């Protein structure tokens, strides 16, 4: 038994999933709204007797470990550790050693170091009157400073020595600080790019300290305004949102989130009661950010600076939004304002929230303002860009509304827009690449006959059924991707004859996992189950014409090679098969 099996044996998938979705019993399964995609129907199923989940809407499926992996956006090992903590499991010591434990330890150590450095900066903030008065001047309260664990990284060699001494007490060496890019190596001394900066500790959505943002605050400081931690395996700016760990709960309650561009904007929003606010880390908002938010929010209010850069950032965002089930709306601030300046000068955000524009409408309006003055070629390019975005929107009604709006704003006949959209949709279906076909084939639950599915499920439930006597035949006559999964099983069985389902399941890639899960879920228990032999015979019967054809081809080949032994064997096997079938079906 490995650690994953231990966890699966000791908790119920139903308990775990119920923390993220409301489930109701429906026959053998439990059903509910999918936590991975936005839906009104209940396509999400959990099968407690098989310990798997599967969504018939978005085709995500797997076991309890992969559920946590997906819902918490973490690695299998982290998912396992999370479940151990959450359900207070006590795995035997020998099970705690899993293959990638070193990387987990490394990660834990990194988070621990970031946390300790945060605390150290935090203590230093209290000793820095200049930073205190700066924060006061910016209008930040003591509560806000505590809420965001702000800190101060003092400057000078004495401070570096002090940091090293403090960290050594927790068995971190200067080398660890160098590797985490908290310290840098000069020609003769160690220094830090964070020196003399206000420190914003950055936590991931699970609340683990993973990096820092440092802002200059002294009037004559001419260095770049911000310095952010460099990216590493545990700190990727494109996947982390500042403030999300503490905003998560408010976001879930409000079913909406505010997205701002900077740490101070985020702080100002929270301080003024908009606790469901998060910020990107000085980089553009990515699709991963949006996916992360869509787990907690239904709608997203984008609140960027009212300048050209903010405007451009919003237009870029429009092109990502159709890929997630989030309703993004744009809040337009008065010119020259950012969220922090707007709020600290006593303005009320509520009327602006009421006037928030759907991001696609915002996009069309923005295009419209520059459209009239454009050359014909540029106009066509702009319409194509717009159509590109519109055709990716799944809801046909929304597509229509946007086209109508665009037709009005750009003063282009609706029919022209509609034709262009239809052409674009046609292009999309005709030019689907083979990769897309593959994805499609893999993602859609299999539609082939029940017989093939039954045989496959019988094997998955008892892998010893798949053996030397039938594997060649099954690998030939089962359709793909069942065949591909069985090929993998053969390889695994050749390496380890005693492999069990869970071990095998772990070795499949995600798409195969959900494929297998969906088949197992579909495969209802029968009142009078057929034996595996009966199923195989039915498959022979079904493929009889193909089998005869293949035998003929093999014979012709063997005759060509003059291999009489081979000819005899082919004829003999064929004869045996024919007799068995006749015996069973006549």
What's the closest the beta carbon of residue 62 comes to Zn ion, in angstroms? 12
- Is 445 among the residues that bind Zn ion (CB under 5 A)? no
- Is 314 among the residues that bind Zn ion (CB under 5 A)? no
Q: What are the E-state strand segments in 128-276?
A: 151-153, 184-185, 190-191, 197-203, 209-215, 226-228, 256-260
What's the closest the beta carbon of residue 517 comes to Zn ion, in angstroms? 13
Q: Which residues does residue 29 pair with via DSSP β-bridges, in sequence order?
A: 26
Q: Which is nearer to Zn ion, 53 or 477 (CB)?
A: 53
Which range binds Zn ion by CB under 5 A, 35-43, 77-85, 479-487, 511-519?
Answer: 35-43
3-state SS string for 47-99: ECCCCEEEECCCCCEECHHHHHHHHCCCCHHHHHHHHHHHCCCCCCHHHHCCC
- Is 514 among the residues that bind Zn ion (CB under 5 A)? no
Question: Which of 258, 336, 354 minimizes the C-alpha distance to 297?
Answer: 258
Which range binds Zn ion by CB under 5 A, 29-37, 293-301, 315-323, 474-482?
Answer: 29-37
- Is 324 among the residues that bind Zn ion (CB under 5 A)? no
Q: Which is nearer to Zn ion, 41 or 103 (CB)?
A: 41
Residue 355 CA to its chain's centroid (Å): 31
What's the closest the beta carbon of residue 38 comes to Zn ion, in angstroms? 9
- Is 34 among the residues that bind Zn ion (CB under 5 A)? yes
What's the closest the beta carbon of residue 419 comes to Zn ion, in angstroms? 34
C-alpha–C-alpha distance, residues 505 and 5, integer Å: 11
Q: Which is nearer to Zn ion, 34 or 241 (CB)?
A: 34
- Is 113 among the residues that bind Zn ion (CB under 5 A)? no
- Is 481 among the residues that bind Zn ion (CB under 5 A)? no
- Is 401 among the residues that bind Zn ion (CB under 5 A)? no
Question: Which of 311, 251, 313, 264 minimizes the C-alpha distance to 284?
Answer: 313
Q: How far is CA 562 from CA 363, 548, 559, 568, in A?
A: 73, 21, 5, 11
359: which 2 tokens?
A: 């991001």
- Is 17 among the residues that bind Zn ion (CB under 5 A)? no
From the list 2, 14, 33, 37, which residue makes contact with Zn ion (rule: CB under 5 A)? 37
Which range binds Zn ion by CB under 5 A, 48-56, 295-303, 403-411, 511-519?
Answer: 48-56
What's the closest the beta carbon of residue 54 comes to Zn ion, in angstroms? 9
What's the closest the beta carbon of residue 540 comes to Zn ion, in angstroms? 38
What's the closest the beta carbon of residue 279 comes to Zn ion, in angstroms? 29
What's the closest the beta carbon of residue 287 comes to Zn ion, in angstroms? 18
Q: Is 23 helix (H, G, I), strand (E, B) or coil?
A: strand
Positions in 214-253 near Zn ion (CB under 5 A): none
CB under 8 Å to 114, separation ≥6 — which residues?
180, 201, 208, 209, 210, 211, 212
Which range binds Zn ion by CB under 5 A, 50-58, 272-280, 327-335, 464-472?
Answer: 50-58
C-alpha–C-alpha distance, residues 88 and 108, integer Å: 19
What's the closest the beta carbon of residue 14 comes to Zn ion, in angstroms? 17
- Is 36 among the residues that bind Zn ion (CB under 5 A)? yes
Which range binds Zn ion by CB under 5 A, 20-28, 32-40, 194-202, 441-449?
Answer: 32-40
Which range binds Zn ion by CB under 5 A, 51-59, 275-283, 344-352, 499-507?
Answer: 51-59
- Is 425:464 a contact under the CB 8 Å cutoff? no
- Is 443 among the residues that bind Zn ion (CB under 5 A)? no
- Is 155 among the residues that bind Zn ion (CB under 5 A)? no
Which range binds Zn ion by CB under 5 A, 33-41, 353-361, 433-441, 516-524?
Answer: 33-41
Q: Which is nearer to Zn ion, 281 or 516 (CB)?
A: 516
Q: What are the E-state strand segments in 9-59?
A: 23-26, 29-32, 44-47, 52-55
Q: Which is nearer to Zn ion, 290 or 331 (CB)?
A: 290
Q: Which is nearer to Zn ion, 7 or 34 (CB)?
A: 34
What's the closest the beta carbon of residue 329 comes to Zn ion, in angstroms? 24
Positions in 54-83 near Zn ion (CB under 5 A): 55, 57-58
Q: Is 32 helix (H, G, I), strand (E, B) or coil?
A: strand
Q: Which is nearer to Zn ion, 43 or 503 (CB)?
A: 43
What's the closest the beta carbon of residue 306 comes to Zn ion, in angstroms? 37
- Is 445:518 a contact under the CB 8 Å cutoff? yes
For 255, which DSSP code? Answer: T
Cα angle for residues 443, 448, 451 (degrees, 5° grid): 130
- The sign of the dihedral angle between the CA atoms of 120, 125, 127, 131 is positive
C-alpha–C-alpha distance, residues 166 and 159, integer Å: 10
C-alpha–C-alpha distance, residues 274 and 301, integer Å: 11
Question: Looking up tokens 């053998």, which residue turns up?
Answer: 28
Q: Which residues does residue 61 pair with via DSSP β-bridges, in sequence order?
A: 54
Q: Which is nearer to Zn ion, 57 or 238 (CB)?
A: 57
Q: Which is nearer to Zn ion, 26 or 380 (CB)?
A: 26
C-alpha torsion 311→313→318→323, nearest 10: -170
What's the closest the beta carbon of residue 534 comes to Zn ion, in angstroms? 36
Which spans of this chain sit near Zn ion (rule: CB under 5 A)? Answer: 34, 36-37, 55, 57-58
């Amino acid at each position: 038994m490995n650690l994953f099996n231990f966890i699966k044996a000791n908790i119920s998938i139903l308990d775990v999933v119920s923390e993220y979705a409301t489930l109701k019993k429906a026959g053998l399964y439990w059903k509910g709204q999918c936590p991975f995609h936005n839906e009104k129907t209940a396509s999400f199923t959990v099968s407690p007797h098989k310990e798997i989940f599967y969504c018939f809407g978005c085709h995500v499926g797997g076991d309890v470990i992969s559920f946590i992996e997906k819902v918490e956006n973490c690695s299998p090992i982290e998912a396992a550790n999370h479940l151990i903590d959450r359900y207070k499991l006590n795995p035997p010591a020998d099970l705690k050693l899993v293959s990638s434990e070193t990387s987990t330890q490394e990660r834990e150590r990194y988070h621990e170091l970031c946390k300790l450095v945060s605390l150290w900066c935090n203590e230093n903030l209290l000793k820095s009157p200049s930073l205190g008065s700066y924060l006061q001047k910016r209008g930040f309260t003591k509560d806000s400073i505590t809420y965001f664990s702000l800190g101060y990284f003092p400057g000078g060699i004495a401070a570096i020595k002090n940091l090293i001494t403090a960290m050594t007490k927790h068995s971190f060496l200067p080398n660890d600080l160098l590797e985490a890019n908290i310290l840098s190596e000069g020609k003769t001394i160690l220094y830090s790019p964070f020196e003399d900066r206000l420190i914003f500790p950055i936590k991931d959505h699970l609340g683990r300290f993973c990096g820092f943002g440092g802002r200059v605050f002294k009037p004559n400081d001419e260095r770049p305004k911000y310095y952010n931690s460099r990216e590493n395996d545990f700190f990727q700016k494109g996947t982390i949102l500042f403030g999300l760990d503490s905003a998560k709960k408010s976001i879930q309650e409000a079913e909406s989130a505010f997205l701002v561009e900077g740490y101070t904007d985020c702080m100002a929003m929270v301080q003024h009661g908009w606790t469901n606010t998060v910020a990107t880390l000085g980089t553009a908002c990515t699709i991963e950010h949006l996916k992360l938010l869509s787990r907690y929010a239904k709608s997203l209010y984008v609140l960027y600076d009212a300048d050209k850069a903010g405007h451009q950032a919003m237009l870029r965002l429009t092109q990502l939004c159709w890929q997630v089930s989030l309703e993004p709306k744009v809040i337009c601030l008065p010119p020259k304002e950012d969220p922090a300046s707007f709020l600290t000068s006593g303005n009320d955000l509520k009327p602006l929230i009421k006037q928030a524009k759907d991001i696609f409408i915002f996009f069309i309006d923005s295009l419209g303002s520059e459209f009239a003055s454009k050359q014909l070629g540029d106009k066509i390019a702009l319409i194509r860009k717009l159509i590109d975005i519109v055709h990716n929107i799944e809801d046909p009604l929304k597509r229509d509304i946007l086209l109508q709006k665009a037709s009005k704003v750009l003063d282009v006949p609706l029919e022209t827009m509609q034709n262009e959209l239809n052409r674009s949709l046609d292009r999309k279906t005709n030019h689907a690449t083979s990769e897309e076909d593959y994805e499609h084939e893999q993602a859609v639950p299999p539609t082939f006959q029940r017989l093939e599915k039954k045989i496959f499920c019988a094997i998955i439930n008892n892998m010893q059924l798949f053996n030397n006597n039938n594997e060649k035949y099954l690998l030939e006559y089962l359709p793909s991707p069942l065949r591909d999964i069985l090929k993998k099983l053969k390889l695994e069985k050749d390496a380890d004859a005693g492999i069990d389902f869970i071990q095998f399941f772990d070795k499949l890639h995600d798409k195969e996992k959900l494929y297998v899960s969906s088949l197992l879920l579909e495969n209802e228990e029968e009142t009078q189950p057929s034996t595996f032999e009966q199923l195989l015979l039915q498959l022979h019967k079904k493929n009889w014409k193909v089998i005869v054809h293949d035998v003929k081809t093999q014979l012709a080949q063997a005759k060509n090679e003059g291999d009489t032994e081979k000819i005899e064997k082919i004829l003999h096997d064929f004869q045996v098969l024919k007799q068995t079938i006749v015996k069973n079906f006549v």
